[in-house]
Amino acid sequence: MNAIARPHYDPALFAPGPARDSRFTVVDQWVDCQNFPEDDPNRDIEFLHRQMNEETNGMENAARNLADFPDAEWVIRMQLARQCSDEARHVLMFQSLFEERGGKTGQYPVMNFQFRIITKIDNLAGRLAVQNRTFEAEGVDAVEPAIEEARKKGDEKLAELFDAQLADEICHVRFANDYISQTSAKDPRSVMRVGRALSYAGEAFSQIMPKESIEGIKYSVNRQGRLEAGFRPEEVEFAASQRPAKRD
């Protein structure tokens, strides 16, 4: 991992991070995480710990959206509240499996980049475009092959966890797609807000993750999952065209 260059990092580009207790070592960039090689026996358990914290970020983001946009329509606030509940359940699922397999919460460094990017965005449509429609849509793509891999290994507990997570993530992406579509129809300026949010998030993400950490993506686009999540067919095909590593 020493050969991977550290990206330029500007703290001012990000919002302050969420609170973490003394068990956790919080880092700002991927190179400072415990990035085990694929053949390392610690890789799988570290992944559970990292996912536990990322799901915590998802819960915190949804909660901040409720707090920061109290005048949003009741329907979207209810969906955000349900997302809080879903993400909290995911946190407990990952923590339980991690500790059951010998891990100790706080054992590995964690990043809170999702929270620090999302809460820097000043409008709800932009936040949902980045968190739900981008980060969680990537999760929809990644989880399906992870379910298959877990079943091949005979790890039914992990497969069931991923299966439940996938169903929830599809719902989270779908309500964000619906909200963004409806908001854009009512106020065309919302399209520009979403565009600015996505542009900002791309710049910020490049300071967190070096190219080497994402160039080896091994999963293809989950076409059916994305369609269920409210993406239009042409959007799904465009996403697939941007991921040539392992297309269907």
- Boundaries of every domain in the chain: 11-246
Secondary structure letter of residue 31 according to DSSP = G
Burial class of residue 54, CB neighbours in 10 A (0-12, 13-18, 19+): buried
Q: How far apart are CA 109 and CA 50, in angstroms?
A: 8
Domain 11-246 of CATH type 1.20.1260: yes
Rg (CA), the chain: 18
- 176's CB contacts (< 8 A; 6+ apart) are 128, 129, 131, 132, 133, 136
pLDDT higher than 60, residue 2? no
Tokens describing residue 195:
């565009």
pTM of the entire predicted model: 0.92
Which residues contact residue 63 at a Cβ distance below 8 angstroms, ignoring those fewer than 6 apart?
A: 84
Q: What is the pLDDT of residue 248?
A: 41
pLDDT for 5 equals 83
> Residue 247: pLDDT above 50?
no
